[in-house]
Amino acid sequence: MLEFLGIFTTVEFYIAVVQMTTPILLAAMGGLIAERSGIIPFGMEGMMLMGTVGGVIGSGLTDRVEVGLLLAMLAGVFIAVLYAIMAVSVGANQVVTAVALNMGALGLSSLLYVLAFAGGKGEVIEDVIRVRAMPLWKIPVLGEIPFIGKVLFNQYPLVYLAFFMAPVVWFILYRTSWGLKIRAVGEHPHAADTVGIHVLKVRYLTLIVCGMLAGLAGAFLSIGAFNAWQENMTSGRGFIAYTSIVFGRWEPIGAFLGSFLFGAADALQLRMQTQNIQVPFQVMVAFPYIVTVIVLVLSGKSAKWPAASGEAFKRESK
């Protein structure tokens, strides 16, 4: 038990917490914008998966991380646009579409990886291919602060972006006219439509933003905290990001806290596994989900699930 508590005294643990939070937070912020406009962002898992492979291909082929990030965003947007075509234009069931896209992204990411690094033609990639990963950016003065500097201000650029996104998303949703439009479309698409808001366009745009952020979240896994790619690299983090949104009751601050909770549980579990501590770490992993269910049940009807979320908008239907 003492060993277990010992984890909390190490700086590495807190650095890991921040780093495990990052991909979840990035995706959750993208997903939140999409969900507030009325689209359940279940497809984030697929967007993130494509982001992981986009990042590794861009960085691996050009040896430039920026190219990797750009490709990761494009790859995420690719899935997002497919999602938008199905969920927004066709009006298909969003959850089913997302299941299909996540499955497709699982296959497509593997295919692209082999195509990029084995030149196609059925070669099997035996070794792990190492690519250039993001450097750590030390913030000048703040990075010198003893403990906090190491944990918060000597991190990867995407970490800063992720933590910066939470207030930005809040600001966009609640302090700008775009945010008002997004929320209107998510709550009362027909009312929004009658006042001249282009519902489908708003939903397309929010999904594209979601794709970009989820793509970056994926890239953080492959060329941020790590420098290589594995099949199914996200292993459910897209869903975790979604759960964070639910945990946060569809509010940016809440989703931020949710991501943090999941990130911390993830980091704790990893540290416990590497140090071979005999405390059932499954409890740690399940804990945030259990809390989420409790939050959901306790908040009851007051949870702000966007009223029109999951429903396709059809102009003529009433």
Partner 1 sequence: MQAKHQPRKQNLWQAFLEKSFNITIPVVAILAAFAISGLLILGWGSNPIAAYKAIFQGAFGSPNAIATTLTRMTPLVFTGLAVAYGYKAGFFNVGAEGQLYMGALAATWVGVTFTNWPGWLLVIACFLAASLAGAFLALIPAYLKAKRGFNEVLTTLLFNYIVMQFFAWSLRIDHPMAGVDEKWGLVNWFGIKDPTQPYPKSAFVAEQSWLPSVNSFLKTGFINSIFGGTHWYQASLAEPALERITLAPLLAVLGVIIVFVLMFKTTIGFRARAVGVSPDAARAMGINVSKTILVTALISGTLAGLAGAMEILGTQHRVMERFLVDAGFTGIPVALIGQLHPVGAWLSAFFFGALRAGANRMQITTAVPVAMVYVIQALTILFAIAGTTIELVSYFKKSRMTSLSERAEEERLSLENNEVLDA
**Contacting positions for partner 1 (CB under 8 A):** 40, 82, 86, 90-93, 95-97, 99-101, 103-111, 114-115, 120-122, 236, 239, 242-243, 246, 280, 282-283, 285-286, 289-290, 292-293, 296-297, 300-301, 305, 310, 312, 314, 317
Closer to partner 1 by CB, 151 or 265: give it: 265
What is the separation of C-alpha 234 from the centre of its chain, rounded to a whole number of angstroms? 10
* Smallest separation (angstroms) from partner 1 to the CB of 228: 18
Alpha carbon of 65 to those of 8, 72, 79, 156: distances in Å?
A: 33, 10, 21, 12
* Smallest separation (angstroms) from partner 1 to the CB of 36: 16
Measured distance CA(36)–CA(301) in Å, rounded:
17
Closest to 87 measured CA to CA, from 37, 124, 48: 37
* Smallest separation (angstroms) from partner 1 to the CB of 133: 24
> E-assigned strands of the chain?
137-138, 154-155
Closer to partner 1 by CB, 33 or 86: give it: 86
* Smallest separation (angstroms) from partner 1 to the CB of 212: 21
Closer to partner 1 by CB, 197 or 285: give it: 285
Closer to partner 1 by CB, 145 or 303: give it: 303
Task: Give the dihedral sign, CA 128/100/20/286.
Answer: negative
DSSP state at residue 190: H
What is the separation of C-alpha 168 from the centre of its chain, rounded to a whole number of angstroms? 16
How does DSSP assign 223-246, residue by residue?
IIS-SS--TTTTTTHHHHHHHHHH
Closer to partner 1 by CB, 17 or 245: give it: 245
* Smallest separation (angstroms) from partner 1 to the CB of 292: 6
